[in-house]
Amino acid sequence: MEKSIKRVAVLTSGGDSPGMNAAIRAVVRSAIYKGIEVVGVRRGYSGLVNKLFMGMQSHSVSKTISMGGTILKSSRCPEFKEREVREQAVANMKEAGIDALVVIGGDGSFRGANLLHEEFGFPVVGIPGTIDNDIYGTDFTIGFDTAINTAVGAIDKIRDTADSHNLVFFVEVMGRDAGFIGLYTAIATGAEATLIPEVHTNVDELCSYLDLERRKNKTSGIVIVAEGHAEGNAHEIAALVKEKLPDYETRVTTLGHIQRGGSPTCNDRVLASILGHEAIEALLKGESGIMVGQINGKTVYTPFVEACSKHNKINNLWYEIAHILAL
Ligand code: F6P
C-alpha cells in the first residue's frame, strides 16, 4: 500500500552541481505522475524558513534538463543548525499543506534533513548532489561527472601552453576534503603528479616525481593539487617546489567554480533523472531519513546518519596506477 502524500516540496541546498535541474525535473514529473502536487522551495533551507514557496507544474521544468546551476537557487543556511529555525521551517511546510520533502544536496544538507526527520517526524528523502563525489551510499553523486569533464578540458588546454614553454603547472581542483576530482582528472590528463588529501605526499617526493631530467622526453609537467591537501594549496606547494627546484619555470592555475557550472553530461542527467524518480518512490513506500543512491546500477537507500558520517573511499590502486602511468 502506498503512503498517502498530497503535496511534496523539493529544494536544492549547499554548493550547486550540474544535474540538479535534471533531478528537480524528475521529482516534479514523477510526483505529478502519481497525482502529487509539487512545491518548489527557493534558496534551500532559507526558503523553508522564509516561505519562498512556488507551485510547480510539469511545464515549470521544461527544457531544464540541459541547464547547469539550479532553477530553485541554492544557499548554505547556518541558521538551520538552531532548533527554533527548524521548528519554523516545519510549521511553514505544514501551513502550506506540504507533507513530505525532497532535499537535493551534499552531506551538510543531509544533516539538516535528518534533523527534520528525527526531531519532527517529518518525511524527508535526500538525493546526492555535489561535484565532490564524497557521499557514502552511492557510486557517484550528481555533478561529479560534469565537473571532471570540465576540469579535464581545462587541463588539456593548460598542457598545450605548458609544453610550448617548458613550464610546470600546479593546477588546483575542487573537492573540499575529498580527492575524487583530483584522482580522476590526474589519470585522464596524464598528470606528472597528483596531490590528494587522502594520500600524504611531501615536497621531496613531489620533486622527485617532477625530475624532468630523469624523465628524458618530458618538457612540461602538470601537478594536480586537490583542495584540502595537508601541504597547502597550489600556490603554497608551487612555492615550496620552486625553492627546491629553482631552475623550473612554474605557474599556478586554480580552476575554481568553473567546475560547478555548465550543462550536465549525459551520465549526470541520467543519474539525476533516475534518483529524482526514486526519491518519490521512496517517499510513497513510507521511507524517511534516507538518501537514495545508486550502487552498481541499483537504487540503494542509505540512512542520512550513515551517508553523512561515512565517506566514499578513493581506490588506492587507482592512485598507484596514476603514478605508474606518469613515468
Ligand atoms: O562542495 C562543493 C564545493 O564546490 C567544494 O568542492 C568546494 O570546497 C566548496 O564547494 C566551495 O564552496 P563555496 O563556493 O561556498 O566557497
- pLDDT digit string, tens, across residues 161-218: 999 999 999 999 999 999 999 999 999 999 999 999 999 988 998 998 887 666 667 7
Strand partners, 226: 173
Higher pLDDT residue, 212 or 266?
Answer: 266
The class (CATH top level) of 145-260 is: alpha beta
pLDDT computed for residue 215 by the predictor = 66
Active site residue 134: no
Check if 172 has its Cβ closer than 6 Å to any atom of ligand 1.
Answer: no
The reply to whether domains 7-143+264-309 and 145-260 share a CATH topology is yes
Check if 176 has its Cβ closer than 6 Å to any atom of ligand 1.
Answer: yes
Task: Compute CA distances 36 → 28, 57, 167, whole Å.
Answer: 9, 11, 58
How does strand 37-41 pair with strand 7-12?
Answer: parallel
Beta strand segments in 174-295, E: 193-195, 221-226, 249-254, 290-295
For domain 7-143+264-309, the CATH architecture is: 3-Layer(aba) Sandwich (3.40)
Neighbour-count burial for 248-269, b at 16+ CB within 10 Å, e otherwise: bebebbbbeeebbebebbeebb
Check if 18 has its Cβ closer than 6 Å to any atom of ligand 1.
Answer: no
SS3 call for 125: strand
For the chain, the structural domain boundaries read 7-143+264-309, 145-260
- pLDDT digit string, tens, across residues 114-150: 999 999 999 999 999 999 999 999 999 999 999 999 9
Rounded distance between C-alpha atoms, residue 322 and residue 185, angstroms: 10
How does strand 290-295 pair with strand 298-303?
Answer: antiparallel
Give, for ligand 1, the residue of 174, 229, 312 to mutate: max count of ligand atoms closer than 8 Å to Cβ. 174
Angle, helix 107-120 to helix 83-95, in steps of 10 degrees: 70
